Amino acid sequence: MSRSGGESPVSVRWNGGADGQLELLDQTRLPAAVEWIACRDVAAVIEAIRSLRVRGAPAIGIAGAYGVVVAAGEAIRAGLAPAPARAHVLLAAAELAEARPTAVNLRWAVERVLRVIEPPDARSTAASATDIAARLLDEAVAIHEEDRRLCAAIGRYGADILPEGDVLTHCNTGALATGGDGTALAVITTAWADGRRFQVWADETRPLFQGARLTAWELVQRGIPVTVLVDSAAGHLLATGRIGCCIVGADRVTANGDTANKIGTYGLAVLAAAHDVPFYVAAPSSTFDLAIIEGAEIPIEHRGAAEVTSPWGQAVAPEGAGAFNPAFDVTPARLIRGIVTERGVISPVTREQVARVLGAG
């Protein structure tokens, strides 16, 4: 991969026809190794989502959509008749949708692909497993292609409003997290392609270091200067005055603009406000959950203690110590200068503006 303006990496791909397989770039192995894993059964897809082999709300959604196709492939190989095949797909889809609770794109994508086989269409109820798989695959591919276009639009809208100065980001919001160039990272790479020059500062993003392992890796591949800092150094960096803005992604955005994102995002937003640095979120419309009014209603995933007490198998806390390990936190809309979507920028971030820009009013 080129280190000077090279193409963005790919993290999710489908190999073969309706009875093919989902292939995922194993992000737990980066940056030390670039390894792909093949998923030919639903259990493997769910394991990959839960273990963060694939991660980032849009990418999880795409993987979930292809996971439903994988379920249809299982039905084909089992020789199931139309009714049992459809029942198998629906059961597997329900399990896929619950694999990670906070990222709304997963359920959204699973439910979207299922619509192509829902009754009362007689064609749906009588379709063979092969027909079901083909129809599901067409829709999953459409979601994947749509995300590429959404990323490009988000990048363009965001680059047009990106302030002068260096950029501070948190977690990973690039090609590894989406089906295209990313969300927040697409804003950065689009601005860079436009000739803007700046330093990107990437919070390491504990406890799983997605900023250090993934964001820094992507930017190095693209030839964009990046410096990694420990999460707790963000306040000191903001106090230097060199940061023009912070920009992050999102796993779920409520009707009033409250935003769930990787743990540590809320703290960064508070620090940005304290130093009068604009704080932006970049997310596609599929990440909005307009059925939820405010952030307090968002379910927050809690992960295992070992990620905190023994990262990468290395004990950093004494045996017997507990761990508090929420995977996400919620940033209130009042701390967000604007939310960049493929439909435009939501600013100020209010329920009315969310509805206006998304066309949901």
Structure tokens at 341: 């979507």
Catalytic-labelled residue, pool 203, 251, 289, 329: 251
* 258 burial type by CB count under 10 A (0-12 exposed, 13-18 middle, 19+ buried): buried
66 membership: H or E segment, kind and range: helix 57-77
Active site residue 258: no
Rounded distance between C-alpha atoms, residue 208 and residue 68, angstroms: 28
Amino acid at position 179, single letter:
G
Angle 129-161/184-193 helices, nearest 10 degrees?
Answer: 60
Rounded distance between C-alpha atoms, residue 85 and residue 127, angstroms: 9
**Residue spans of beta strands (DSSP E) within the chain:** 12-15, 21-25, 36-39, 166-169, 200-203, 226-229, 243-248, 252-254, 259-262, 279-282, 288-289, 328-331, 338-341, 344-346
Q: Which of 55, 317, 321, 10 is nearest to 171 (CA)?
A: 55
Number of residues in the chain: 361
Q: Which of 155, 173, 153 is nearest to 249 (CA)?
A: 173
Q: What is the DSSP letter of 215?
A: I
Active centre residues (catalytic): 251
